[in-house]
Structure 1
């Protein structure tokens, strides 16, 4: 039995992994699909808050050798959580996601188009609005999580997989990440014929990749 911890991207919750969670559990695995802190007091939520969401779960459930899976922004979270809890992490799987180095933030990793989206905060001044085509359950995302640089002090010895969505409608902001990692022997890299929401567009292929991780 493997323990999977599934981290959503911006504005989404653990519900975006419902089908994948069900499929993994049917195969006998343990799955935690997290909804990160955010819809409450967004002014006080930053990247450290989301790292604590994951590391607290790992400790509370006494998880060892976890497969941490992060979609999009979730790549920031799984990177930081593995750095803080290397003894509880066995593998990292990035789903069309950020792969930060020490000192990176989402703000400096994205294009000007994404920065314009980040700057379109709601009336609280702290929540990035869901895009119009997002699931109706999507909620504003705490902007401070996107501005705070990540601090990494370790290079945990874990298995690393990157899953690139090759079917964007237009240029993908993750193409530079894919190009950088696909020839790196430390990584397993896959390209799937789906849009950014790989959980919806390529669920069967994604399931096999996670099982192999």
Structure 2
């Protein structure tokens, strides 16, 4: 069966995959999640973290080739990991994520979207180097369709998100392009507009694009359904 490595998005950590890991394991797969630098239990100061550090942490966590799943902003570091070490990745799987494009930063791509539904919930840190999400608005933007208790569980663990990795343009080439890819769109997403997720994948083969009826956090809203799609992708 397949080996999955799950990468969280902005302000989150490996903790957000809590319900998905056992679902994948129940389907016969190996699955694990890591904290990117300055997230979760990783104590790296956020002011020291760049996009390359995210990608290198992913590469360092891989011994044998994995199905590499990136949620939301993690679309950028998983793509850079594919550029740096394509031999370590069986397939890239973007989960309501930014499908990174050569020469653009995540900020560039976010601004291409027709709407900016997350920005009203964002607060910059006093040093201007990171942002946090207003805990009174996380239910609205991240977890509106998630089970009771999710908001409290997540709010206790969300961390500042360093801005530099998201403002850094990515340089891609044939190495990244050589890695197969799939996309899982979330059609009730209130963070990355679903219509922009469609735009990012408009020239992808139809067989490589999947959809879920959830919001931005399918790992909490429908972990079994997400695991089913990941299982289908791994089985080809």
Coarse TM-score class (shorter-chain normalised): 0.7 to 0.9
Distance 1:118 1:168, change over 3 A: closer
Aligned-partner Cα distance in 2 for 1:166–1:208: 17
- Normalising by structure 2, we get a TM-score of 0.79
CA–CA distance in structure 2, aligned partners of residues 192 and 115 of structure 1: 20
Aligned length: 208
- For the Cα contact (< 8 Å) 2:122–2:134, is it kept in 1? no
- CA deviation map 1:40-98 (0-9, x unaligned): 3211101111001101111xxx212x100011001111111111111111111111110
**Please, which of 118, 121, 124 is the counterpart of residue 121 of structure 1?**
124
Which structure has more relative contact order (CA 8 Å, sep 6+)? It is 2
1:131-186 superposed Cα distances (whole Å, 9 cap, x missing partner): 421622100011111111111132443332111111135x8534223145255327
Cα shift at 1:129: 0.8
Rate the CA distance shift 1:180–1:129 in 2: closer, same or farther, 3 A: closer
Question: Is 1:57 matched up with 2:61?
Answer: yes
Runs (5+) with no aligned partner, structure 1: none
Question: C-alpha distance in 2, partners of 1:198/1:180?
Answer: 19
Q: Which moved more, 1:124-133 or 1:42-51?
A: 124-133
Listed as ranges, the matches of 1:169-184 within 5 Å are 172-182=192-202, 184=204
| Aligned position for 2:147 | none
Task: Show the counterpart of 1:148.
Answer: 168
Given that 1:71 and 1:94 are in contact with CA atoms closer than 8 Å, whether structure 2 keeps it comes out as yes
Contact 1:193/1:202 (8 A) holds in 2:
no
- Give how far 1:32 is off: 2.2
RMSD of aligned Cα (Å): 2.4
Q: TM-score of the superposition, structure 1-length normalised?
A: 0.87
> Which runs of 5 or more residues in structure 2 are unaligned?
139-150
Which secondary structure does the structure 2 equivalent of 1:91 belong to? strand
Structure 1 residue 196, shift from structure 2 partner: 1.0
More moved, 75-84 vs 110-119: 110-119
**Equivalent residue for 2:181, pick from 157, 160, 163:** 160
Which residue of 222, 225, 229 corresponds with 1:202? 222
CA contact 2:67–2:89 (8 Å) conserved in 1: yes
